[in-house]
Amino acid sequence: MDATTDAVKTGTSTLGITFDGGVVVGADHRATMGHFIANKSVQKLFGISDYVALTTAGLVGHAQSLSRTLSAELRLYELKHGKPMTVKGAATLTANILTGRPHYVQLLIVGVDDSGSSVYSIDSAGGSIPDVYCATGSGSPYMYGVLEDQFREAMSETDALKVAAKALLASAQRDAASGNGMDLAVITPEAGFRLLSEDEVSNLLQTL
């Protein structure tokens, strides 16, 4: 998708879920222009450092620009300070960028650091809200139905992946602006950011 095509919006379903030892993060693939499905394979989930990920809902151009900026800023911070930026720091940085120059996006910053697992929702005006799980985009009402029912504190990684997949499936079935598959990733202190392969996602869906 051309980064300058700001008319294309990712109607979108994205989510972040904390579990015992890490975070699961996911997003669908569909981009729309009104009622038209403009693209079926848009990237909305970005690993912006070894331990922090970004999900995007909103204008494609703004989302891609932010992912590049944040990746560069987090890398520069690590080079300068000799350690990764915290998830809270990444969320604050993102919020400050949006406060200085509003973007038509709704974001999640998720990851792990010495304080544990974190999920931050960032609105287009720069508001930053932490939670144990969060969903964004037009599919979020359907995802929250699953999350409210099935999220448990200190879930296992496997259970968190299943809940995330169920939530994204629910939004794909009911939200016309969401669907065409999903990306899922896991972030842990030991392995860092790991995007599941298509086969892994397919095998996971067969267990639901």
Give catalytic residues, as residue numbers: 12
138 DSSP assignment: T
Closest CA to 47 of 204, 144, 188: 188
Six token digits for residue 108: 């999640």
Contact 103, 124 (CB under 8 A): yes
Report the length, in residues, of the chain: 208
C-alpha 32/C-alpha 187 separation (Å) is 29
**Cα–Cα nearest to 6, from 63, 51, 83, 49:** 63
Tokens of 68: 């590049």
User: What 3-state DSSP class applies to 170?
Assistant: helix
Type of residue at 182? M
- Which SS3 state, helix, strand or coil, does residue 35 take? coil
Please compute Rg for the chain using Cα positions. 16
**N-terminal to C-terminal alpha carbon distance within the chain:** 31
